[in-house]
Amino acid sequence: MNGSASDAVAIDVCGLTRHFGDLVAVEDVSFQVDRGAIFGLLGPNGSGKSTIIRMLLGILPPTSGTANVLGHRSLEESELIKPRVGYMSQRFSLYADLSVRENLDFYGRVYGLEGEHLAERREYVLELTEMGDYQRQLAGNLSGGWKQRLALSCSLIHEPEILMLDEPTAGIDPVARRHLWDLLFELSGRGVTQLVTTHYMDEAERCTDVGYIYLSRMLVLGKPSQLKALPQVSPEGTKRYELRIPKATEHLTTLRSVDGVRDATLFGETVHVLVDDCLDPPQLINRIEVQAAETESREIPPSLEDVFVTLTAAAERDHTNAAGVDLFNAEVQAERVASTVGPQPKMVKGKSLAGLGAVLAKELVHIRRQPTTLFFMLVIPVMQTLIFGYAIDTQIENIPMVVFDMDGRQHASELTSAFVNTRRFRLLEHVLDETTFHRAITSGRAKVGLRIPPNYSDRIVRGEQVVVQVLIDGSDSQVATTAQSTAHLLGLSLSIQMARAIGDSLQIAPARDEKGEGVLPIEVRSRMLFNPDLDSSHFFVPGLVGIILQLVTLFLTSFAIVRERELGTLEQLFVTPVGRMGLLLGKLLPYAMIGFVELLLVLTVMIYVFGVPVNGNLVLLLALAMLFMVCSLGLGLLVSTLSKTQLEAMQFAFIIMLPSVLLSGFMFPRSEMPLPIYLITFGIPVTYFIEILRGVVLRGADLLDLIPSIVGLVICCTLVLWLSVMRFQKRLA
Ligand code: ADP
Ligand code: MG
């Protein structure tokens, strides 16, 4: 930027263009804003005003063209611009659950203000915007006009040289609108350059310069007085009158058809007509059959609204020739183009950790104000552990059984008792006929049916083989296999008992023990090393700790960021000098801390409620849990970069949670999975953490035993963090 121009020009835009896919949002827009000016960017909704401001602030890269603000390139040097510019975005984007004062202090701190200086600035803006009495109110409870004042106050806290206000008066009442404009004039008097967008035509009159954007292009540009004098607006040999006629709408078409009428536009209850000099109001009124007494007329200079209406109509008539009217000197234009063509400047990076303290403090206030978050993070996991820990009980006992005993003598009832004594089966009832027997199983009342034939006792006594039928409902495979193997084992052991009794009495028994008694030749004795009672909760609960830790941190972090994106506060933060890492760490650290407390709670429940002791080193476990939490927070961050709305975030988070629950080995053993699925399980971070948890808690594994899992976790963690931090940019697109 050449020195002489930069002093007088605050904003310099040249050929700025932005496409969103096929949509051209801004096309070849050029303008300059002098220091101290109030530049009004006017245009209907969707004409590209907000997009222009976002490009000026460097949070949206242009498709082509350049913008300089305060002598710096918007895109590459945005970090140099941000501390000197105040931005008020189109939507109310302050923190509703923070008070007026907390909002101000937060933005002040983000801009690096502290202590005395911050207090001084806060008092100054509160006085300027007359908000002193509202300091303690929550921002969300303010009325529309006061919300806008607060937003203005926040954008002024750091004494910006330029204010960019995106539709500051949209949606507020006329009185509040006037007050806000009074404030803008006041600021202008204090030397603050302002770029204000609006779609209210009357507000354009208040600006020192205006640009009118229509269909993404700058249609006209200049000072209001210059615009009104444009030949297209006030052609030579014409006059403009304001006519007050009853039922003006009905006469509009007739008026337009009158010879000598160049244009007629409705303005509330009046009509502005542009007529040839030769035509005067009495003649005009004659032509439209209204009583002259009921009308009033006066000659008026064109308003800016007339200017825009005329030029818009002209542009619509001649769409191809919509290049517009630019009051810039062509030579100046050419010079500017030349001056902006130069070597590509490097990206200027801001301080990465800037604003960390401010964001951290704010996040803690959010959490304090929203006890549901704490509830969700601390109470729910404990409840989940309890419920899941008890519910996922794979020990199968008391399988309902019906018995159809056709024998009815002692041997048969001993067999029934033997079934019940295994505790696997619970005797539901004795049935007396075949139909009831079958129906008991088909109806689902009983899962197992034991049918003892009529000659059972006889055959046992005679030493003949007897077949006992066990019907098993196979629809629940786990119950069925348990029932099947128990029944088989029972039959086997009863048979062996009988065989042993016989063998013992013979000369040659299969084998004998030291006491000389007949025994089985080979006896296999097993000993459980880690979970002697084979208590399934011992296996499940440690895994549950991992799943719950991921569930809560993943959801909360992704929501915490996406909520700000949805509310628009993230955009507001992007235009501040807050550093990328400062913003990220400030948002993630509080959740990491709460996550850690949650981990301790869930472990306590595991140890004291489920009686699962930690066999290994607790410190090692906690250290590795921290590593896993970093990974899980990273996943949350990744989700937040992928989603625009909280709903999307929820869907993404579910997509991540599903394989974590089903494929991580938490529910089903990984070794049993088909090869492609088994390979996928290596890409799931919680897989490694569950291995670590089970290792340390159940088997007392030490660091050495865990190395493969730790390496896996570290790799996952690095990848996830790298990906999410790369994706998280201080930009909108
Ligand atoms: P204005 O502020 O004048 O109302 P905008 O600058 O918001 O207009 O939008 C201009 C056009 O660009 C609109 O058609 C809008 O839908 C589109 N647009 C704006 N932002 C995006 C975006 N991030 N992605 C896609 N289209 C966008
Ligand atoms: Mg807008």
What is the whole-number distance in angstroms between the Cα of residue 47 and the centre of ligand 2? 8
**For ligand 1, what atom is nearest to the CA of residue 51?**
6
Does position 324 have pLDDT exceeding 80, yes or no? no
Output 622 or 379, whichever has higher pLDDT: 622
Residues 276 and 205 in one domain: no
pLDDT over threshold 90, residue 620: yes
Atom of ligand 1 at shortest distance to CA of 732?
A: 23
What's the DSSP call for residue 99? B
Per-residue confidence (pLDDT) for residue 395, from 0 to 100: 66
CA nearest neighbour of 381 among 371, 369, 373? 373
Judged against a pLDDT cut of 90, whether residue 540 lies above it is answered with: no
Do residue 478 and residue 506 come from a single domain?
A: yes
426-453 mean pLDDT: 92
Q: Out of 492, 519, 546, pick the residue that ends a domain.
A: 519
Which residues on adjacent β-strands are paired with residue 518? 512
Nearest ligand 1 atom to alpha carbon 53: 6
Q: How far is the CA of 90 from the centre of ligand 2 (A)?
A: 6
| 605 φ/ψ angles, rounded to the nearest 5 degrees | -60, -40
Residues 385 and 418 in one domain: no
pLDDT for 323 beyond 50? no
150 with 56, same domain: the answer is yes
Q: Average the pLDDT over 125-136 and give the result.
A: 92
Kindly indicate the confidence band of residue 327, based on its pLDDT and cuts at 50, 70 and 90: low
The total number of structural domains that make up the chain: 4
Nearest-atom index, ligand 1, CA of 21: 25
pLDDT band per the 50, 70, 90 thresholds, residue 396: confident
Q: Can you give the pLDDT at residue 501?
A: 78
> Which CATH number characterizes residue 139's domain?
3.40.50.300
pLDDT in tens, 144-153: 889 999 999 9
- Within this chain, do residues 208 and 240 fall inside the same structural domain, yes or no? no
Who has greater pLDDT, 650 or 500?
A: 650
Question: Is there a contact between 558 and 649 (Cβ–Cβ < 8 Å)?
Answer: yes
**pLDDT range class, residue 426, cuts 50, 70, 90:** very high
- Is residue 486 one of the residues assigned to a domain? yes
Q: Is the pLDDT of residue 262 over 70?
A: yes
CATH code at 279? 3.30.70.100
| Rounded alpha-carbon distances, angstroms, from residue 283 to 169, 251, 287, 297 | 41, 15, 7, 12
Instruction: Report which protein residue has its CA nearest ligand 1's atom 15.
Output: 46
pLDDT in tens, 27-48: 999 999 999 999 999 998 999 9
pLDDT band at 394 (very low <50, low <70, confident <90, very high): low
pLDDT of res. 4 = 47
Backbone φ, ψ for residue 48 (5° rounding): 110, 10
DSSP for residue 698: I
> Using H for helix, E for strand and C for coil, what is the string for 645-683?
CHHHHHHHHHHHHHHHHHCCCCCCCHHHCCHHHHHHHCC
Q: What is the pLDDT of residue 46?
A: 92
Ligand closest to Cα of 166 equals: 2
Which has the minimum average pLDDT: 134-138, 172-176, 390-394, 649-653?
Answer: 390-394
Tens-digit pLDDT profile for residues 563-599: 999 988 999 999 999 988 899 999 999 989 888 999 9
CATH code at position 433: 3.40.1710.10
Q: Could you tell me if 261 and 202 lie in one domain?
A: no
Q: What is the pLDDT of residue 1?
A: 42
Answer whether 302's CB lies under 8 Å from 314's CB: no
Ligand with an atom nearest the CA of residue 63 = 1
Average pLDDT over residues 106-123: 94
pLDDT confidence of residue 57: 94
Tell me what pLDDT residue 423 has.
87
> Residue 17: beta bridge partners?
64
The pLDDT score that the predictor gives to residue 340 is: 52
- The terminus-to-terminus CA distance of the chain in angstroms comes to 26
Report which of residues 346 and 681 the model is more confident about.
681
545 and 468 belong to one structural domain: no
Distance in Å, CA 24 to ligand 1 centroid: 9
Q: Which atom of ligand 1 is nearest to the CA of 90?
A: 2
- Specify if 308 maps to a domain: no
What confidence category does residue 351 fall into, taking pLDDT thresholds of 50, 70 and 90? confident
Check whether residue 548 and residue 425 sit in a common domain.
Answer: no
Confidence at residue 339, expressed as pLDDT on a 0 to 100 scale: 53
The tokens of 693 are what?
A: 């948890």
Q: Which residues line ligand 1 (CB under 6 A)?
A: 20, 23, 25, 43, 45-51, 733
Q: Let me know: does 213 contact 42? Beta carbons within 8 Å.
A: yes
- Residues 673, 590 share a domain: yes
Nearest CA to ligand 1 atom 26: 20
Domain boundary pick from 171, 201, 225: 225
Other beta carbons less than 10 A from residue 659's beta carbon: 16
pLDDT in tens, 57-103: 999 999 999 999 999 999 999 999 999 999 999 888 899 999 999 99
Does any domain span residue 3? no
From 496, 519, 542, give the residue that closes a domain. Answer: 519
Residue nearest to atom 16 of ligand 1 (CA): 46
pLDDT of residue 361: 93
- Select from 622, 616, 620 the least CA-distant residue to 600: 622
Residue 328 within a domain: no
- Closest ligand (CA of 170): 2
Distance 146 CA to ligand 1 centre (A): 27
- 2 is a domain residue: no
C-alpha closest to that of 151 among 562, 575, 563, 565: 575
Do residues 553 and 696 share a domain?
Answer: yes
Q: How far is the CA of 217 from the centre of ligand 1 (A)?
A: 13
Answer yes or no: is 314 within a domain: no
pLDDT band at 479 (very low <50, low <70, confident <90, very high): confident
| Mean pLDDT, rounded, for 618-639 | 94
pLDDT at residue 304, rounded to an integer: 87
Structural domain span for residue 260 = 235-301
Mean pLDDT value across residues 389-411: 85
Indicate the range of 14-18, 338-342, 643-647 predicted with least confidence.
338-342
Tell me what percent of the residues of the chain surpass a pLDDT of 70: 94
- Strand ranges across the sheet with 9-20: 23-34, 9-20, 64-69, 72-73
Question: Is residue 132 included in any domain, yes or no?
Answer: yes
Per-residue model confidence (pLDDT) at position 626: 93
Whether 107 and 204 share a structural domain: yes
Residue 452 is assigned to a structural domain of this protein: yes
Three-class SS state of 164: strand
What pLDDT is attached to residue 79? Answer: 92
Q: Report the range of poorest mean pLDDT among 262-271, 360-369, 499-508, 624-633.
A: 499-508
Both 55 and 139 in one domain: the answer is yes
